[in-house]
Structure 1
């Protein structure tokens, strides 16, 4: 295994692939560099001397500038560099893309749920959704009833543990309580007791729908419409109070905008028009049960890989993200695009500094102009409240080598591979064009993942260097570790270890192909991701304020 890496020949820093002690002499391009400090794995050190204000370059782009003179072998830190990034402008070049060889997947398919509108689901869920936070409690009542009655409850194993402990306590066997060890439930078929073709009922509670701006309520309705329209969803039960901003009519308009011929079953109950809460909930439970009977008649059928839509997401990123998991996922995206499929790259604050590359990859000037307009509006909004994209890196990011937003962004953008950008979507807009789509979301893991799925992603590839349990209610979230230490330490939440790229066991291309094979198996329903097994159903709508 190499001890360091130069990512791009224009870079004036090297990345440590393992801890390197102070005083170690590094030989690079005929130059001997003595390390001035111990360099922790994932961190960077200078190749050449720099003066105050000189550029720091990684991935071949500007990622910061020096705040003081430094010599070769010196570590870059938050104390000696600050964020800086290249400006961007209108499209000034065209991309000549060489698609990867996908001949071995040309005749492949996956077993999916084919919907009337041509979309294909990788799962089959029913949704129960409140239009306003006032209905969250009623949703919780329905949730308890259905999860216990149909065997979908994620708490079932923990309930059994408590019952075991209560029995031991009543018997006076305190020693047995101290020695008690629970067993992990991993057999997914234990969830399919009544309706074998339904993966579950999901409950999308939230804190919106009223009390904020009308724009927030409209955006919430548009996002919820995306979830109901989603191919992984058979239908939905909607609870409305009645007087809130997020009216049923707004949701219905949003659904018709997505598909004028929309015909999925959507059951609506408005509390202020009901004789009583009991009457409303009883009717909702009975009607939902009858709808589940119909939804259970749907079965998986062979479907082309071009019907896959993958979300490209990262969270808890580290200094290896941009050289292992992200470029591997980027290759998977390129493979899927070459097969006629779709991928979605989001988190606009984490595209800072690589905008021009993405602009030049846009297929049309109209697409690139839309990207420029959204990016500038978003950054202006952040600056207006005294923030900015430069504040995006978290303490964990910085601790593990992502010193500036531009360093983080240059690595994060690798998830988008090298293919042309076929479309740019604003928040809650739904994918309609195959190929790589750019979707405006914040960098917040859950807000962004929620948005990608709301825009049509039927599987999400989520890279992490520090570890995060993030999942989604209706789409499988595949968690990819950037390093083997993380994959070993948090194996209960990690699905794929891409740290073998760092150790030299696999190339980026080999790992990208392995990820595609995993995606196909997950789409088939043969694999349930760790986030699914843990019922990690994260859902947070984005209020269009400043969230980085």
Structure 2
């Protein structure tokens, strides 16, 4: 197979990349015995080096520190020869300690003159926030109401024009008919799947309502009171989200999470909250049938009013960009993440906000983020949250070093510090303007750090709960993740993935790897795509596929 491959070089300096040019690569990126020339140095490879993996740029003795991107990412467990493969067999996780600010950070923003007078078409809310979509939200206070929400979902989504393609239902129907006719499993097995790609053509009843969303969850009762309080704040964050026009709440009645608790959290979060909220409690209702019928009727009336809202021009400073990576690979830190980081810097320079979360995947770059903090209060809050999270994980026999998944390791991210060094790049280089605990709303323009797990859905759930109105998600392996109220843009680190999983990928940064594009040019392309998404001109694949993933974090140990 003819291909262009890159490799990473370890040394006591930042990671670098070099192209092997066109070659017959076989199953390896580079073969043992090849000479790689980089930066006027020649490296004779001692092992086969798979694509996305790394080789040593110097000899390492047992216990020597190994650095990448200028930070400590591990220690040698065995001697490693210059040109030798870096692997889980010879490298263990290590990260530098961190403390308070050690220097004053200065930042030169990128040139944003070409976007200075640009706008996006969003939904202007009375409290000053701007939505990139217009949804009606159903919220259960407790898992006992999930079934009732499913009944309402079945009743509303198809009739109002929000049902997704029926091709799988059509497939099942035709398989049933085929089986009835033939009585044969062989006949079914030999049927071409292409027969079943019929799409459902529906027209929305409410043209200005982008969808009706349902936040089913497993909480609200049976756990600790702290669990219910955190869930309440998260649900309130979604109710207060600029992409939400109105809310219908279903409650059982006897659960820990009470509606008056949610009302208190609404007042604390946003004293100017004025969206319509319809509340129904099953244990005080005449019957389940009456409860559901009234909820559907009142919601329909609410949708009539919400449909009167239309998109209006808004400055790009109203963008709240959540940045996320998942299913990461060895290319993440040199293509998609730095490109997204450049887009994030553009948003900050335009007066917008950027949310960088996933605290377990900032392990090893803490001191850099501390030093980028605008003041000691911000830095100290990050330190407190980070150390508390780490201690909680260690207390149950885990730790940040256990974060990389088998897929990460297979594709070159063999320690958490290696993963973190690349993951942090999606936040760009702007000063850290604020630090938010889980469920806290975005308060300031600029870059904010948000305390969430690295878990893909828990992290995106948390970012939307803090107010992100567009989330950009980079992936090297392919991750089918979205969010109920916030559009999620999916970016691949490599072109093979973009071609293989074109149904979930919106943008490809693989041309950075091949040298056909720059980090800056792709960052600008990402920003332009986000403006179109925020204006409703482009619908991301995650939204098209109905990837409405929602998992609250119970503040237990989740990496």
- The gaps in structure 2 that reach 5 residues or longer are none
Deviation at 1:181, TM superposition (A): 1.6
Offset, 1:166: 5.0
Mapped contact 1:14–1:46 kept (Cα < 8 A) = no
Q: Hey, what does 2:255 align to over in structure 1?
A: 244
How far did 1:15 drift? 7.4
| The one of 175, 178, 184 aligned to 2:191 | 178
For residues 3 and 425 of structure 1, do their structure 2 counterparts lie closer, same or farther at Cα, with a shift above 3 Å needed? closer
Q: How many Å separate the matches in 1 of 2:418 and 2:501?
A: 25
- Distance in 1 of aligned mates of 2:361 and 2:95: 12
The offset of 1:11, in angstroms, is 4.2
Mean alpha-carbon deviation: is it higher for 520-529 or for 18-27?
Answer: 18-27
1:111 to 1:13, Cα distance in 2 relative to 1, 3 A: closer
Deviations for 1:189-233, whole angstroms, at most 9, x for unmatched residues?
A: x55420110011001100000111111110101000000100000
> Hey, what does 2:312 align to over in structure 1?
301
Looking at structure 2, the residues matched to 15 and 448 of structure 1 have their Cα atoms a distance apart, in angstroms, of: 33
CA positional deviation for 1:161: 3.8
Give the Å deviation of 1:13: 8.0
**2:121 alignment counterpart:** 111
Task: Map residues 134-533 of structure 1 onto 2, 5 A cutoff.
Answer: 134-154=144-164, 156-166=166-176, 178-179=191-192, 181-182=194-195, 190=201, 192-533=203-544
**Which of 27, 47, 63 in structure 1 is aligned with 2:73?**
63
* Change over 3 Å in CA distance of 1:163–1:106 after alignment to 2: same
Q: Secondary structure at 1:150's aligned position in 2?
A: coil
Deviations 1:426-456 (A, max 9, x none): 0000001011010000000000000000100
SS in 2 for 1:257: helix
Q: C-alpha separation between the residues in 1 aligned to 2:193 and 2:36? A: 52
Please state if 1:131 is matched with 2:141.
Answer: yes
Q: CA deviation digits over 1:311-345, x for unaligned, max 9?
A: 00010000100110000000000000000001100
SS of residue in 2 equivalent to 1:238: strand
**Take 1:186 and 1:109, find their aligned partners in 2: how far apart are those partners?**
34
8 Å contact kept, 2:10–2:66? no
Q: CA deviation at 1:6?
A: 4.5
Offset of 1:261 from its aligned partner?
Answer: 2.1
**Partner-residue secondary structure (3-state), 1:178:** coil
Structure 1: runs of 5 or more not aligned: none
* Deviation by residue 1:229-282 (Cα, 9 ceiling, x = unmatched): 000000111000111111111111111111112110111001111111111111
Report the CA distance shift for 1:183/1:195 in structure 2 as closer, same or farther (over 3 A): farther
Give the number of equivalent residue pairs: 546
User: 3-state DSSP class of the match of 1:196?
Assistant: coil
Q: What is the CA–CA distance in structure 1 between the aligned matches of 2:500 and 2:556, rounded to whole Å?
A: 36
The answer to whether residue 61 in structure 2 is matched with residue 47 in structure 1 is no
Conserved? CA contact 2:15–2:69, under 8 Å: no
Q: Classify 1:375/1:185 alpha carbon distance in 2 versus 1 (closer, same or farther; 3 Å).
A: farther
TM-score (structure 1 length as normaliser): 0.96
Change (3 A) 1:171 1:3: closer
CA contact (8 A) 2:11 2:57 kept: no
RMSD over aligned Cα atoms: 2.0
Q: CA deviation at 1:53?
A: 0.6
